Amino acid sequence: MSLKLPHIIDGQRTKLHPLLWCLKNRMPVGENLSDLARAMGVRPQSLYKWMRKCESNRHFSLPALRARIMGDYFRVPPAIFRPDVFTQGDAL
C-alpha cells in the first residue's frame, strides 16, 4: 500500500520524499549518515537502502519505529514519514 506523504514541509513545497528532504535541509551540522544510522540503531546499509527506495518511490513508507526516531532526530513530526501511524499532534 502506498501512502500519500505531505508535499509541504516547513512551509516549503517539495517533490522529495520527506526523508530525503530532511537529509538535505535538517541534517545537524557536523553529522553524517553514519551518525544518523547510529542514532536510529541500524546499520548504514539499511539507511542507504531506504534512501534508494525513497528516491525511486516518493511515497515509500518507512518502518514506524524508525519514523519516530527520525522525527526526533530531525526535529519534525513523525507523521511526515508515516501519516497512517502518527498524527500531527504526536509531535507536541
Fold that domain 13-91 belongs to in CATH: 434 Repressor (Amino-terminal Domain) (1.10.260)
What does the pLDDT look like over 20-37, one tens digit per residue? 999 998 899 999 999 999
Helices and strands: H and E segment counts in the chain: 4, 2
Q: At what angle do helices 64-74 and 33-40 cross, to 10 degrees?
A: 130
Beta strand ranges found along the chain (DSSP E): 8-9, 12-13
Where do the domains of the chain lie? 13-91
Residue 39: pLDDT band with limits 50, 70, 90: very high
User: Phi and psi at residue 8, in whole multiples of 5°?
Assistant: -125, 120
- Work out the average pLDDT over 32-48: 94
